[in-house]
Amino acid sequence: MHKETCNKFRLFSLFLFIAGFLINWGCYSEDVYVSNRTSSQARIKKVVVVSFRASLSPGDKPDIVRDPLSGATYMAEPVTQQVIDKMTTLLFNRLKAAEMYELISPGQAMGVISSIIDSDSTLGMDTVKLMQQLGKSFDADAVLTGYIYRWREREGGDYAVSEPASVAFDLHFISPLDGSTIWRGKFDKTQHSLSENLLDFKTFRKSGGKWMTAEKLAAVGLRDMMDKMPSDRKKGKERGQINIPESVRLPGEVNSSSFPNSVRGQE
C-alpha cells in the first residue's frame, strides 16, 4: 500500500512539473520584441531598404550602447563590415523573396544618401532627418534601417561548443512624413542548451538540436521579425507564417512553415 501511494505521489509530482513547464512555455516571451506606433497607420507598400550599420566598429571596446532611434540599450561589441554586408544582403533577399513590399535596394539608397549629404552635410549628423529625406526622394511609405550591436561567433561545432553564438540587432520603419518610428523590432539572443533553459524549446527546435553559427541564429531572428512586420502582401500566407523560399535559405535552415503554430509562436 505504501509503495502504491509513493508511486501515485511521484506521478502526480511529474504531472505538476510537466503542466508547469507547458504553462510557462506558453507564456514565455518571444525572442523578437516588436513595437508598433498605432494599428491605424497608413499601409506600407513602398519601402527603401538601407544597409545595416554597426553600433561599434572594429577597434572599439565592448560597451553598453544606446540605439539612437529608440533609446533602447544593448550590450554591444565591435561588428565588421563583412557582417554588415552579409546581414544587409540576407535582409533584402528575404524581403524580396517574400514579396511583402515594393522595394528600393540598399545600393540605390546609398547613392541617394551620398547626394543628400553632399547637398547638406548637417543631415549626415541627424539619422532621422536623413531617413526622412531619403524616403521622400523615392516617394516611399517607409524607410527600413537598423543597427547590429553584437555578432559573436560560436566556438566549437554543431554538437559541442565552448562558447555559443550571440547576436543582437534591430530594425526600424521610419516615416518620411514626420520622421516617427512606425514599427520597430529587435532581436537580442545568446543560444543556450535545452538543459540550461527548458523554456527555450522553440530555438532548440529551429536549430535542429544543434549549436547554431551566428549567421544562422541571426537568420532565425530575422525570420521571426519578418513574421511580425506590417504588410498586407505576405505571399498568400497568414500573418506569422511567412514562407522563406529555399533559394534564400541558409544551408541546413528549416522553413518556419514546417513548425506547428505552438512552436512558431502567436502574436
Q: Convert the pLDDT of each residue in 208-266 to its tens digit.
A: 667 889 999 999 999 999 989 988 765 444 444 556 655 555 555 555 444 333 333 33
Q: What is the mean pLDDT of residues 173-178?
A: 94
pLDDT reported for residue 102: 96
pLDDT in tens, 51-83: 999 999 999 999 999 998 888 888 999 999 999
List the single range of 22-31, 45-54, 169-178, 248-257 with lowest mean pLDDT: 22-31
Place of cell 560560436: 154
Nearest C-alpha neighbor of 67 from the set 85, 53, 79, 55? 55
Could you tell me the residue ranges of all domains in the chain?
1-30, 32-264
Structure confidence at residue 247 (pLDDT): 55
pLDDT band at 7 (very low <50, low <70, confident <90, very high): low
The vertex-236 CA angle with 234 and 239, nearest 5°, equals: 50
| Euclidean distance between CA atoms 75 and 150, whole angstroms | 7
- Check pLDDT > 60 for residue 134: yes
3-class DSSP state of 35: strand
At residue 96, the pLDDT reads 94
Does the pLDDT at position 12 exceed 60?
no
* Of 95 and 158, the one with more pLDDT: 95
C-alpha 78 chain-centroid distance: 19
Around Cβ 48, how many Cβ atoms within 10 Å?
Answer: 28
